Structure 1
Amino acid sequence: MTEVKTYTAFGLHILSEITLPELVQTNQHVSRDIVIRENDLRSLWHELAQQNEYFHIQQDFILFHVPNVAIFQMKNGNEILVSPMSEADPDQVRLYILGTCMGAILLQRKILPLHGSAIMIDNKAYAIVGKSGAGKSTLASAFLNRGYYLLSDDVIPVTLTEHNTPIVTPAYPQQKLWLESLNQFGMKSDGYRPIIDRETKFAIPVSTQFADQPVQLAGVIELVKTDNNEIEFKPIRNLERLQTLFTHTYRKFFVTPAGLMEWHFDMTAKMVNKIEMYQLRRPEARFTAHELTDLILSTVSKEEKAL
């Protein structure tokens, strides 16, 4: 008989047939928001998917196939079905459950998933967003090294209060860092688990510096790599703010086929006047995480004094 465990992540109670050691385990008797179970999805995939297609998206479910790993289905914001391949590595299956699957579930529940890392400064959340490889997790780790707390790494869940104040709910207590970043922070990779297929990227538990309560989102910082040697930090204004939030929505290509474009526009339009937004351009050629941290903290401090 499959052992079922209950976890909490993204502000949701998760009942899972698949063991998820990255998450915080909770009491088995709590009410569940999401069920994760194994199911054979091969026939459904062959019936619906087009040739050379990896995603099939409808308004009530999203189906996707990762060759040699699994077929996944997310339904109605409350169910994740997983059909693992016989040769699949369990670490890799979990990587997709906690990433793409949870991003889809959040969208289905009309919770905005931003792609980035969220840290807490002075009891407020700041989301560091950007393309893959921009340095989001590394910058967040620089904040942790100074005693600040992590709210999320990779998928940032954002909701609105009845007064349209954006709130970040904590995801789960783990970061993903490249070996180069570990070396810069003086951390040894020996004690950390490599993320599958990325032998130089590691899963870093952050349980002692994990903020486990929702907090107000005060700012979004778009991190961009450049060929210049200088750091540039400038406000994002007007309609660029909406575009930035859409660009950095996790798995944004789900939004239109899932029938969520109107909701996404409405939610982000309500958010943009409640938060500060900046673009932070950093040189690719050198390690700048400590300089960027100083710059962000200085800017945040000036904002607080101006209020």
Structure 2
Amino acid sequence: MGKYLAFGLTLETCLDFTGVLQESTAETDVFIQEAPLHQRANRPTRIQRRGVRARLGLTSSGILLNWAGIGRFKIAAGNTITYQNEGADAGTLRLFLLSEVIGLVLYQRGLFLLHGSAVQVGHDAAVYLGIPGAGKSTTAAAFGKAGHTVLTDDLVAIQLIDNNPFVVPAFGQYKIWKNTVDGLAFDESVLEPSFEGATKYLVNQPLATFPRNPVPLRSITLLYPQNSRKRSEPIRPLLAPVELLKHFPLPIQLLTGTYLQTHFQQALRIAQVAAINQLKRPNGFDALERFVQTFQ
């Protein structure tokens, strides 16, 4: 068994995350174990990875999330992940565990979750959201190329500490598209192919210097394409709960009851502390790099 750190949680598992996650000596927060899973998950979701749509199941003992031909997962009490491998290689299995599966652990623990990217600039974190193709991952990659830390490129977890919002660092690895590699002139020779497909690559940030502690949240920016009718302007705090709800990263069937109420309360608090804006994305890679250089 090994112990590793991801999203501020110490994971104890037989799976080998060496080189992907930082090692941890802290008390275990989440146990990851392999065992047969016979309960059915029949509800289709909007979540797709490698062209396979995830299916959801809700039981009295946990949440089920299944990808046919890849794996079945059960998340219970915010501290246990049980999985049944359905033929995935080790890299693919790690990828799926570190995406929506661990997102469900964070959901059960009550964190505020967004589908987006987050970077650390100085001592603070900036979050970028947007529909697929809006440029959030590319924006994060531009910050990474400029020497800033990419805290996460997919699942953003925000924790309120003493009523102030902090971004919880995910792990040191992030993914970029082939056109981003070319457009931002990354050195392709040092990149690894992503297990999500040939058009994505993995960037490995140094584990020794990757942040272990939550980073104060400075801003959240909703990115829109250049041809959008949206204007670049601040979003009023009272509108923040609804706008941020559009970027919930997990199955929408989970937006019910206490969690939905807590989401609205947390969003209002976040909007009181952090700037929330909408922005037409910089037009082209050169403009994006200039944007990163002038970010204050």
Unaligned runs of 5+ in 1: 301-307
1:259: how far off?
A: 4.8
Secondary structure, counterpart of 1:54 in structure 2? strand
- Structure 2 residue identity aligned to 1:148: H
Distance 1:246 1:18 in 2: 33
State the TM-score, normalized to the length of structure 2. Answer: 0.87
Question: In the alignment, which residue of structure 2 is the partner of 1:26?
Answer: 24
Query: 1-side partners of 2:44 and 2:210: how far apart?
Result: 43
Please state whether the residue corresponding to 2:117 is helix, strand or coil: strand
Question: Aligned to 1:8, which of 5, 10, 15?
Answer: 5
SS in 2 for 1:241: helix
1:59–1:259: 8 Å Cα contact kept in structure 2? no
Q: Which amino acid aligns with 1:8?
A: L
**Count, aligned residues:** 285
SS in 2 for 1:272: helix
Q: TM-score, normalised by structure 1?
A: 0.84
Partner SS for 2:134:
coil
The amino acid of 1:207's aligned partner reads: P
Query: Residue 7 of structure 1 contacts residue 13 of structure 1 at CA under 8 Å; is this kept in 2?
Result: yes
Q: CA deviation at 1:82?
A: 0.8
1:78 is displaced (CA, Å) by 0.5
Cα deviations by residue, 1:212-256 (Å, 9 ceiling, x for unpaired)? 33221111011122436x995311114331112211222151532
**2:191 corresponds to which residue?**
192
Identity of aligned residues (%): 26
Residues 55 and 65 in structure 1, CA contact (< 8 A), matched pair in contact too: yes
The one-letter code matched in structure 2 to 1:10 is F
Q: Displacement of 1:66 after TM fit?
A: 0.4
Secondary structure of 1:134's match? coil
Shift of 1:44: 1.5
Q: Would you say 1:65 and 2:61 are equivalent positions? A: no
Contact 1:151–1:212, Cα closer than 8 Å, also in 2: no
Give CA deviations for 1:182-202 in whole Å, capped at 9, x if unaligned: 112222334322222421101
**1:305 corresponds to which residue?**
none
Structure 2, unpaired ranges of 5+:
46-53
| Structure 1 pair 51–23 and aligned structure 2 pair: CA distance change class (3 A) | closer
Alignment correspondent of 2:50: none
Larger radius of gyration: 1
Residues 252, 275 of structure 1: alpha-carbon distance in 2 compared, 3 angstrom cutoff: farther
Give the counterpart letter for 2:146 in structure 1: R
Q: Distance in 1 between matches of 2:282 and 2:147?
A: 25
Deviation at 1:50, TM superposition (A): 6.1
